[in-house]
Amino acid sequence: MPLTMFDTALFSACYLTGRQRWLEQLTKLSDPVQYLPYPCAGYGPDHEVLITDTAWIGAEDASNVLVIISGTHGIEGFAGNAVELDWLRLLADGTVIIPDDTALLMIHALTPWGYAWQRRCDADGVDLNRNIVDFSKALPNNSGYEQLRSALFIFDAQQRQAAFTEFEQQHGRDAFERAISAGQYTDPSGPFYGGRAPAHGRRVTEELIQRYALASRDLAVIDVHTGLGSYGYGEIICDHEPDSPATAMAKSWYGDSVMLPLLGTSTSVPKTGLLDFAWHSIMNQRSCYITLEFGTYATHELFEVLLQDHLLWSKKTDGVNEEAKREHRKLMRHHFCPDDKAWQEMVLFRARQVIRQALHGVSS
Ligand SMILES: [Zn+2]
């Protein structure tokens, strides 16, 4: 096996390059492709247009569909883009063949604004992965977040950390992580904000589900994320109910590496408004949705880099110049996609493994 089997040159420097390479790779496929772009409002830092690109690869009437999603959390699209490029290359050179009754739906940069600006959220500060709630009803309440809120915006990192430690000692680690990251619907400038209306990525998802009548097909959905968990490991997070047919399906396809937040076995705590829920609601009993989450650094470092990001972008620090934001982008990139060939190889290896399991599972 050649040492260059996993090509870390697939990791691109910016959204624009990643997108161009993705579009170019699409043209090299011999399978039939339906390409649909979904423009997003706004521009990137280099005035580039922002598009969620999608490709349906294979037969239009396929009864099984493998769905690969990248950039749900904008900046996490750096790794997601490389994973999708790698898979497109395997398809193009014939290393992987999609069975006749199966199609691949590839969704690139579901939150393109965040990918281009190297943030996790969209232009309105919305976390797409907390956005799938019924906005016509009372929104989920996160009392822990409200308790911690004043501490989140303490500018001095040491003071902030002391307040966090106090909360954790009183309520426990799990409650602390839920308070910050489970999702909140009251504070647009804060982290893990679910928004007040369906975000771009949710609208695209719902349109694709309609467009391709996905409720009437068997689905294997893989949503690629980074930034939580052990360095380089791709954890399979399953947010279906533990005793559901979908969880049984996930275990039969992916084996013992399936982890469930609802059972406390995952590095992720249970959350509100996950993108998963847009798919769970239309899935039949032979389908399942997983998050493939690649770890980088410790959870407290994730919170720190995100809180700094929200501080810089919040109105409270209007005096902060653009240079500080530019500098912080490097730290964001470092947390969500380390410039380390070993980490990148681990991502490519594990993604191939999990996508292959999904393809085999949904096709059989
Ligand atoms: Zn994520």
Residues 257-281 pLDDT 10s: 999 999 999 999 999 999 999 999 9
Q: Is the dihedral of CA 318, 324, 328, 329 positive or negative?
A: positive
The answer to whether residue 178 sits within a structural domain is: no
For ligand 1, the distance from its centroid to the CA atom of residue 31, given in whole angstroms, is 30
C-alpha of residue 76 to centroid of ligand 1, in Å = 6
Tell me whether residue 84 is in a domain.
Answer: yes
| Strand 288-295 with 218-231, pairing | parallel
97 found inside a domain: yes
Which residues make Cβ contacts (< 8 Å) with residue 233, sequence separation at least 6? 294, 295, 346, 350
Count: domains in the chain: 1
* Cα angle for residues 21, 46, 331 (degrees, 5° grid): 85
Token pair of 95 as six digits: 């290393």
The Å distance, Cα 238 to ligand 1 centre, comes to 14
- Is residue 211 assigned to a domain? yes
Tell me which residues of the chain have a pLDDT lower than 70. Answer: 1-4, 315-320
**Residue 319: what pLDDT?**
61
| CATH number for 255 | 3.40.630.10
Ligand 1 centroid to Cα of residue 293, in Å, is 7
Among 70, 158, 120, 186, CA closest to 333: 120
Residue 352 lies in a domain: yes
From the CA of 223, how far away is ligand 1's center (Å)? 9
Q: Is residue 308 part of a domain?
A: no
CA of 129 to the centre of ligand 1 (A): 8
**CA 344 to centroid of ligand 1, rounded, Å:** 17
- The CA 245 to ligand 1 mean position distance, Å, reads 25
Query: Hey, which bits of the chain come out as E strands?
Result: 33-43, 49-57, 64-69, 102-108, 218-231, 234-237, 258-259, 288-295
User: pLDDT tens digit string along 308-321?
Assistant: 999 888 865 556 67
Give pLDDT tens digits for 213-251.
999 999 999 999 999 999 999 999 999 999 999 999 999
- Could you please report the per-residue DSSP string of 150-164? HHHT-SSHHHHHHHH
What residue numbers bound the domain in which 244 lies?
Answer: 3-133+192-299+334-363
CA of 184 to the centre of ligand 1 (A): 16
Q: pTM of the prediction?
A: 0.96
User: Ligand 1 centroid vs 201 CA: distance in angstroms?
Assistant: 13
Tell me, yes or no, whether 305 lies in a domain: no
CA dihedral over 300, 303, 306, 312, signed as positive or negative: negative
186 CA → ligand 1 middle, Å = 20
The token pair that represents 254 in the structure block = 């992916």
Residue 307 lies in a domain: no
pLDDT at 1: 46
